[in-house]
Structure formats: C-alpha cells, structure tokens
Structure 1
Amino acid sequence: MTTQTLPAPLPLEGWTHIYSGKVRDLYVPVGETAEASPYLLVVASNRVSAFDFVLEPPIPGKGALLTALSNWWFSEIDMPNHLASGEDVPEIPAEVADRAVVSRRLEMYPIECVVRGALTGSGYKEYLETGAVCGIELPAGLTDGDLLDEPIYTPAYKAPFGEHDENITYERSVEIVGEDVASALREASLDIFTSARELAAARGVVLADTKFEFGRDPRTGELVLADEVLTSDSSRYWDAAVYADASLTGADRLSSFDKQIVRNWLAANWDKQGTPPELPTEIVSQTHDRYRELYVRVTENDPHNA
C-alpha cells in the first residue's frame, strides 16, 4: 500500500470537509454528518493522478474543465444522476463555483464499471498475456489501439485510496453486489457508452474506453449515475482524423485528449519506485490544452461560458 499526504482541503464557509480522494474533495453542510446528510459538495481539484499516485504540480484549470464536461454529459444522458436540485439544495461557495457540484447522498457500489471500445492500456497488456480481458476472450492478432467489434464490459473493484484498483470478472462483480445489481450496472454502462461513442464520433473524436460509477438512491432504490462521467480523467479519447491516418501505426495514431500525455511521460521517466518526479512545465501545459480542446470539440461550447 502506498501512503500519500494530500494538500490540506480548502476551508469553505457553510461546509465541513469529510474526505479527499486522488482528485476530489468532499464536504457536507455544517452540522451534518457524512452518514446522515442528504447532500454532498463534490469539489474537483486541479490534482492529476497516474499509476495510483497523485502527481505534482497540479494542472491549472483542470477541475473547472472536468466539471463542465461532466455536467454537459449528464445533461445528455437519459438516466438519473447524482446532481441535486430544488429549493433546499445548499449553494455552492463562490470560490469553487466553477469546479464543484452538490450531489445527492447515495449508497455507492464498490464497482468501477469499465467499458472498452478499443484494446489498449491495461486491457491490452492482459490480452497479450492471456488472449482475454477480465475473462472475456478476444480474437487473436489484435494490436494496441484496435477498435473492438462490440464494446466489452470489464468491471474493476474500487480500491481504497492508496491501493490499486483490481480488474475483476463479471462473475466476481456478481459475488460483490449481487446478480440483479451487477446486471443493471453492466447494462447501463454499455448503453451509455454506446450512445456517447456515437456522439463523440460525430464531433471527430474516438471514445476508446471509460469508467462509470453508480449508486443507489436510499429513498427510491433507483440506480443513479454518479461521480464524474466521460471526462478526460475517466476516459480515453483519441483524435479520429489522426487515428484514421493509414501512415501512422502504434502509439502514433493514438493522439490523446486525456491524461495519457502524463502517463506516457511518467512511464518514460520513472521506474515506479519511490516518489514520482515532478511533471515538467511543458507536460502540464500540453495536458491542460488537450483537456480544453476536448471540451470544445465534444460540447461545441466555449469553456468560459460553461
């Protein structure tokens, strides 16, 4: 297990900090507890993580861009989500208004619902070793970045902060959350991914893979889409024109709009022993620019007006 000390949470009037993850900070209204409060303030920081480490320095503006993109996708997805609404919902403090949302309290499922429309990353490594990904057999001869005929659902067990998330089979997810819930998670994840991939393609972007998180509304029992959705941190996006360029092969065709820039630099400059090195200025700048470009391409909006 890796132990990291995160920066002190920002004090926010009217809210009490209860938890910090790799990139998000959670608060409840003053006087409430995490177990009883009907609302959570979810603040997206500018922190960036890779290989289960929070890296330095942060990416300026990242939290606002991810929040805007996630909120836009929530508006496009025909499914209940965690965003709270109504007269009783507490206001978001002005100092984090561009990178925070007020969420309904949910009973979160400990499953990361990963959907892969392409073979890359940890899935490709597993495929090279076993010919399968999370127990799903795939055709022989696939290469890094190849699109799959149909997206596949490859869940992961969501590990506590500082530990590695564990890829699991669908059967294992049934053991963890029960057959009805596991089936609902798989169906919802594949449906959302398929629709999002089609929309992204129309904007010149390949949605290669993503992960969703879901919870249960304790009042209604309904399945609710939660956390971030289809952001640059939770997904791989590639430039469709570059991907289709027949003169390019391997990683050269996988022009990324996500934090793969960070992953690639870190993989080339760190042996995964000890503390990761600081990200150079040009990597920080390139990552911010790609996050911004993705938002503009997918939403066709100016992020300053989000």
Structure 2
Amino acid sequence: MTTTPSDAPPIPGHAPIYSGKVRDLYAPLDANGDPREDVLLLVASDRISAYDHVLDSVIPDKGRVLTQLSLWWFEQFSSLVPNHIVSTDVPSEVEGRAVLVRRLPMLPVECIARAYLTGSGLAEYREVGSVCGVALPDGLTEASPLPETIFTPTTKAPMGQHDQPITYAQVEDLIGAELASKVAEMTTSILAHGNEIAAARGILVADTKVEFGVAGDELVLADEVLTPDSSRFWRAEDHVVGVPQKSYDKQYVRDWLTSAESGWDRTSGDAPPALPADVVAATRETYVAAYEAITGDTFR
C-alpha cells in the first residue's frame, strides 16, 4: 500500500501536501486561498505500518494516542530541546489527533538511540559485535542493558523501502560534523531523559527513533516523540535479560504478522494480511496502556 497527497481525507481550508505511512500533512490556506509556507497541519491517522508495509487495517484511536502522548513528551523535554508545535487549535475534523507545526527543513537521517539491545540492533551485534559502528562488550543478549545510551542512525528510505543502518561517520558526510555531533548528543539525551521519567512509572524505554528539523543553527524536535510507534516500551517488573520482552508498542503487531496464525512470509514480497478483529482490539489496548502508564492520565 502506498499513499499520495490525494489519499489524504479532505479538510476544508487546507491543501493536502503529503500522505505517509501514518501521518498526513496539509498546508493551511491563507486569505487568498494559497497554501501557507510557514506552517503545516500534521495529522496522525489510525493507519499502522510494519515491516515497511502499511496494513489494510486501522487501529481505533491510534492517531489520538500518538498525538496526545507526543504532546505530553514535548512538554517534558521543553527545557532540553525546542519542538515544532505551534498550536493544538485544529479543525474539528481532526481534533485530538492533529497539531499545527512549523514548516522546517528536515534532516535526511533517522535518529535512533538504544538503551537496551533488541530487534535489528541485536541482529547486527550478533553478526559483527557492534551496532552502526558502535563497538559493544562481548556477551550481550536479548534485552541486555547497554553500558550507555548509544546513537545508531539509519537512512531515511522512501516509503516501501527499508531504512539501512549507517555509521556516525556517514552521518557526518550527510549533514556535516558539527550538526552530526548535535544530533547524536540530542538523540541520546532524549532517550536517557525519557528513561529517567519513565522509570518512575515502571517503564523501560528500550530504544526510540526521533526526527529533527533545523531553524538556523538550532535543532528542532519534530514529528513524534517516544510513542508506541517510534519506541519500544517494556514493563520494568517484567524485564528479564535473555528472552523477548512483552512490549507496550507495535511489536505486538509485528509478532502476530510473523506468527503461524497470520500465514504471512515477510520474505515473499507479498503484502501482509489484514489484522483480525481481536488483534486490532488488543493493539488498541496496548497503545492506550502505554499512554496511561507513561502519563498517569486516563485516555479519553
């Protein structure tokens, strides 16, 4: 499934700009009916993606969870890094799952930080003893805590293609040494600070992906931050090194897709199947549980 601006649902007074895996972008129209160039309406849909595919299923309230949890985290990080939020005053059609944001040049790097070893990072470590060029101690295994939070960037691949791990030196080549240093430091700081906050709520954030725009010489945190789509959340009380963890994120969907029940072979090139109703319901519950555990608020 691929999406284009024309796939984005119409919103009066807004021109569709881009429709991605999960989010739709619109330009508000000015008094002359022309798209504004300073701001964008960022809308989180209920679509869900996995293994570089957008599934033919939606998760009710997912867009609201992503938006509201990101807003909560943006506030927690307000003294650490500026963000792109301009206003939460948005059209009624997308209330609760959209924000008005600054239009910024975005960095061509997926900025990933890891505090625990799992997923693709674990696979790379088992093969070469490092992740994105960062050497790690011997003897680590599934869900091992890392000696320190590390920066493990990837390419930002077009929709339908897979992001590829890159080294810090390659990031320097892409965006320059000074900006690369800022990005690496800020990405790891966000995860480290996020884990300090989450720990008080009994949650471990294993890894996360963030995106940055730039405004002059300033890094600006954009898109989403520490959500079940961009991060792995584990219950601290259930954490056991050496075995897969129960995740409060979209790992639940990935696990079902690769199970015998789904009947899908991810190496086949075929699109994955739609999610059954019970998996959709359980996925929604997982996202809501993550929101409530982290914020301490009841999701409405």
TM-score w.r.t. length of structure 2: 0.92
Q: Paired residues, what number?
A: 289
Counterpart of 2:128 in structure 1 is 130
For the aligned residues, what is the CA RMSD? 1.6
TM-score w.r.t. length of structure 1: 0.91
Counterpart of 1:257 in structure 2 is 248
2: CA distance, partners of 1:132 / 1:147? 14
Q: Give the partner amino acid of 1:61.
A: D
Secondary structure class of the residue paired with 1:102: strand
1:140 positional shift: 1.4
Secondary structure class of the residue paired with 1:294: helix
CA contact (8 A) 1:68 1:303 kept: no
1: CA distance, partners of 2:190 / 2:163? 22
Structure 2, unpaired ranges of 5+? none
After superposition, give the CA deviation of every residue in 1:46-83 in whole Å (9 maximum; x if it has no partner).
00001110012110110001100000000000211000
Counterpart of 1:22 in structure 2 is 21
2: CA distance, partners of 1:178 / 1:137? 22
Secondary structure class of the residue paired with 1:48: strand
After superposition, give the CA deviation of every residue in 1:108-153 in whole Å (9 maximum; x if it has no partner).
0011110000110001111111111111111112111111121110
2: CA distance, partners of 1:107 / 1:275? 32
Secondary structure class of the residue paired with 1:108: coil
Matches within 5 A, 1:49-198: 49-77=49-77, 78=79, 79-85=81-87, 91-198=89-196
Counterpart check, 1:289 vs 2:288: no
Counterpart check, 1:8 vs 2:7: yes
Q: Give the partner amino acid of 2:120.
A: S
Alignment equivalent of 2:265, drawn from 255, 264, 271: 271
Q: Give the partner amino acid of 1:170.
A: Y
2: CA distance, partners of 1:114 / 1:32? 36
1: CA distance, partners of 2:111 / 2:281? 30
1:29 positional shift: 1.3
1:249 positional shift: 5.1
CA contact (8 A) 1:113 1:212 kept: yes
CA contact (8 A) 2:198 2:294 kept: yes
Structure 1: 4+ residue segments shifted above 4 A = none
Structure 1, unpaired ranges of 5+? none
CA contact (8 A) 1:47 1:54 kept: yes
2: CA distance, partners of 1:285 / 1:147? 31
Identity %: 48
2: CA distance, partners of 1:221 / 1:153? 21
Counterpart of 1:231 in structure 2 is 227
